[in-house]
Structure 1
Amino acid sequence: EALPPVASLADSDPFGAMLGLAQDDALPIGPTQATEADTAPSAQAGPPAGAAPDAGAAPDAAQAALPAEAPIVVAPQSGAVRYRVHYGDPVDGNVVATLEQSFEIGTHHYRLHSEGRAKGLVSWFYRGSLVQDSVGTVSTAGLAPSSYREQRGDRAPRSATIDPAHGEVVFGSGQRRQAPPGVQDRLSVAVQLALMRQARPQQFEPGATIRLPMLGNSSVEPVDWIVIGEETVATDAGTVRALRLQRPGVGDDPAIDLWLALDARIVPVRMRVTEPTGRALDQVLASQ
């Protein structure tokens, strides 16, 4: 597939589109993650096995009858990966950018860093880089971002700080929004989904929908991921078995496909962003 006209490619913002940032305010993505309190066993006894909950029971009693979600066990680890970003199908070899991501996961805290840089003809129009940082805490609910920062080239950085004590997020612009439990940022979401899949595989059967609240530039929106099924992904290190998830495109928002390795890896092996026009950017693991 031939590259689009230079002006068209520049307007599409490959780095932004690759991360679902085509819209200036909200990022499209899937049930809201349980908080650590939600995963604790209930002190109340549920009904006998096989018995239906009492329709007239109080909401708390009915909730107590539901099984608790499995806690997410996050093993301390660190590492770095590199991706190639292709315009169109990866087999065509139209590489327009490289992306490097590092991660440090501790017992109680984490840090994620990503830096993308255009290459080839596209680098004439994207001389800077897209840098993202996400830091936060680790619990039995997975990752809980406390701050997120992104900077594209020479543009002013964008940031968000989450205040769990008041249940709100404060954006760099000063705007405040409610921050529901389990909220993720643009960098942490893929890792959180991978951790969830490892801890709760029964929730990731084909056809299931996973909902996560997501930080946009000045908003928090619920985003749904639909589980498509198992596929194989060709990488430099060989073929990887992966589970494909999709966030369908809505209106002008692009569709996003995410491939999570079926082994213990916490970073995705592939991600594809498809615009309503059909143009696609495909990010594939190059090395680890």
Structure 2
Amino acid sequence: MSQADTLTRSVWPIRSLGLFRSELVTVLRRWRTLALLAVLAGVPVLIGIAVRIETGDGGSAGGGGGGGPAFVALITNNGLFLVFASLAATLPFFLPMAIGVVAGDAVAGEANAGTLRYLLVAPAGRTRLLVSKYASVLAFCLIGTLVVAVSALVTGALLFPLGDVTLLSGTTVPFSEGLLRALLVALVVAASLTGIAALGLFISTLTNSGIAAMATTVGLLITVQIVDTIPQLHAVQPYLFPHYWLSFADLVRDPVYWDEMRSNFQLQALYVAVFGSAAWARFTTRDILA
């Protein structure tokens, strides 16, 4: 290996990190992104206030509907459960919608604004640029999830008591362990969004219209969510990216059940591999400079 090749290989990670930082800053400085984060932060506040008003006269909060875990009914006993309830409430639509908007706009928005061709003029390379864009979307998955979790934790602490946590299985653990489980739940939820992030990025490489890419990604999200609720289509439901999203509830049990979470991670990895490869194949062969 020549000295020039060695130097190039050593500089590549540094340039990639700088490109990722630039992409993430660009995403977070958009007013649309800030509005999405504000909506995500507001959902736990609304849930907390609604539960507080409902239980203000000594009544009990309603349980989790739709066969999901009854996190809402446990909020009045411990404000930490507002974190779990808020993630369960935002995961079916609000969080993935925000990810779909950011991912759908990643390439198509730049192409529509005319800035994508200038990025490619710089010595970044299409593969490194695409990887940086996907990494920035993944970072937003984590940021969006943590915004919900932190907002819920603060709201829960202000409106409800905190203390030892009684898990869904009936076991009581210290608050510190409950807080650790809440962090793990947030990480699992963020990992659950990697599949739709890859799908949105692929769609973004197919068009020069950011609005079209965002609308298509969100439309597919809604369609897949509907398909996942139709009993007659049970044969295909285990292959739909949102099917195991609520498996994070198994982290609030003792012992923790890993089977559905493992299936969730494997399914998300499959979507990332398939649609990530498709996005790379499309982006590296696309005539962007024309």
TM-score range, shorter chain: under 0.3
The one of the two structures with greater contact order (alpha-carbon pairs below 8 A, sep at least 6) is 2
Please tell me whether Structure 1 or Structure 2 has the larger radius of gyration of its CA atoms: 2
Higher strand share: 1
